[in-house]
């Protein structure tokens, strides 16, 4: 059996998953990453989140988050509000419309998860999960 290019497989899987998610997110009016931002806001503190917090959680550039926020605010999914302690700072909040779309996001995530493991037995899923956790630990 030929040696498997694991890095190449990881790249292909990540790319295919991202493309699959992107197509489905676009169908509900979201761009890639906006689903994650909404998720963090919905599970974040009641007082909202600062841009820096979102940037760190999402592991992206501040400019990326700022552009996302601009688009999402224009779509009515989030809103910005000045911080009570620091007038220069802004807090980001999810709106009722943003919470509403999260139910569709959850459905998309579930379908993607199901498609990802389709055809794998329970034992194979556990083995895959175990091996991926090991790889993840190696990379941290």
What is the value of pTM for the model shown? 0.84
Cα-based angle 122, 11, 134 (whole degrees, multiple of 5): 50
Domain limits for position 35? 17-139
Q: Is 8 part of any domain?
A: no
What CATH code is carried by the domain that includes residue 135? 1.10.10.10
Condensed to tens digits (0 to 9), the pLDDT of residues 74-115 reads 999 999 998 778 878 889 999 999 999 999 999 999 999 999
The total domain count for the chain is 1
């Amino acid at each position: 059996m030929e040696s498997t290019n694991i890095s190449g497989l990881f790249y292909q899987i990540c790319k295919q998953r991202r493309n699959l998610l992107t197509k489905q997110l676009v169908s509900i009016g979201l761009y890639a990453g906006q689903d994650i931002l909404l998720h963090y806001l919905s599970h974040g503190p009641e007082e909202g989140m600062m841009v820096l917090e979102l940037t760190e959680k999402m592991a992206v550039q501040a400019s990326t988050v700022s552009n996302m926020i601009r688009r999402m605010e224009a779509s009515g999914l989030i809103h910005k509000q000045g911080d009570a302690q620091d007038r220069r700072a802004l807090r980001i909040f999810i709106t009722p419309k943003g919470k509403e779309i999260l139910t569709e996001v959850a459905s998309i995530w579930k379908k993607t998860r199901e498609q990802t493991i389709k055809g794998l037995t329970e034992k194979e899923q556990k083995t895959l999960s175990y091996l991926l956790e090991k790889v993840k630990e190696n990379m941290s």
